[in-house]
Amino acid sequence: MRIDANDPRVNEAVRIVKEKHRPANQAELERIFEEHYHCKIFVDPNDYFCTTGHLDISEEKYQTWFILQFGEGNDKPV
**Model pLDDT for residues 34-68, shown as the tens digit of each residue:** 898 888 888 776 666 666 788 888 888 888 888 88
Q: Are 26 and 45 in contact (CB under 8 A)?
A: yes
Nearest Cα neighbor of 32 from 47, 54, 17, 13 is 17
Whole-model pTM over 0.75: no
Q: Which residue has the higher pLDDT, 72 or 3?
A: 3
Cβ neighbourhood burial of 60 (10 Å; 0-12, 13-18, 19+): exposed
